[in-house]
């Protein structure tokens, strides 16, 4: 069994020249309270090694509540300026998970400035979690993104947004040739209590794809229970 290390001992390890030692801090710190872990992850998020920065930024999703203002600044910096796309995507994920509503402008700016599908995917997913109506236009455009995963994420985000303007956008994809698109549409339509949504779900529950049909049936059940 691995010995639990103190905060001071782990802090010292973050200065070790061996990357593996510094990486170990990410897991070894899990027995500490959130405030102590937060202090360690702030340091690790600036590490020279991208894998360590990625791990630290990912943990911010559950630690950022310790100091919201500092976390928002740190994640915003990582999102905009980290040289590794994976780290930038993790920062977007964390901003969404923490529901930092003030992050919308920076997320929108990053989305417009990148052609990387992973970063675009993470930004779109984060915008769905934030539920900011200002994101509607961006998400509508993202449903036409050349990358399938970004399109799927945008459809899901529009469902999370719950904005009535999203309903006609989603209805355009009920007969999409890609079953994964139809599947996400079925899930998204379950958040809209409008007759048009129910009619589309009735159609989708008879879809040739069992996954789509099941998603539509579940959405209808939720629809009826509300």
Q: How far apart are the first and last CA of the chain?
A: 49
149 in Cβ contact with 180 (< 8 Å) = no
Q: Compute CA distances 28 → 11, 40, 93, 207, whole Å.
A: 11, 11, 23, 48
Cα gap 67→35, rounded to integer Å: 9
Sequence-ordered list of residues with C-beta below 8 angstroms from that of 85, at least 6 positions apart, any chain: 116, 118, 119
pLDDT of residue 1: 32
pTM, to two decimals: 0.92
| Spacing of C-alpha 51 from chain mean position | 19
pLDDT of residue 225: 62
pLDDT of residue 2: 46
Task: State pLDDT tens for residues 176-192.
Answer: 999 999 999 999 999 99
Query: Which regions of the chain are under pLDDT 50?
Result: 1-2
pLDDT of residue 3: 59
């Amino acid at each position: 069994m691995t010995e639990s290390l103190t905060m001071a001992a782990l802090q010292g390890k973050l200065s070790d020249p061996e990357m593996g030692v510094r990486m170990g801090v990410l897991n070894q710190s899990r027995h500490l309270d959130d405030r102590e872990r937060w202090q360690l992850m702030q340091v690790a998020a600036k590490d020279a090694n991208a894998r360590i920065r990625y791990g630290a930024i990912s943990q911010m999703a559950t630690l950022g509540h310790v100091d919201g203002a500092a976390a928002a600044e740190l994640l915003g910096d990582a999102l905009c300026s980290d040289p590794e796309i994976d780290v930038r995507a993790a920062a977007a994920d964390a901003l969404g998970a923490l529901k930092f509503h003030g992050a919308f402008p920076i997320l929108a700016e990053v989305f417009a400035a990148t052609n990387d599908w992973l970063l675009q995917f993470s930004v779109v997913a984060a915008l769905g979690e934030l539920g900011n109506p200002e994101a509607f236009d961006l998400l509508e455009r993202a449903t036409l993104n050349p990358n399938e995963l970004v399109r799927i994420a945008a459809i899901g985000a529009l469902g999370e947004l719950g904005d009535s303007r999203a309903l006609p956008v989603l209805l355009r994809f009920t007969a999409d040739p890609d079953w994964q698109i139809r599947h996400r549409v079925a899930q998204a339509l379950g958040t809209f209590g409008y007759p048009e949504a129910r009619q589309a779900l009735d159609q989708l529950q008879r879809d040739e794809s069992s996954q789509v049909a099941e998603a539509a049936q579940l959405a209808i059940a939720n629809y009826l229970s509300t």
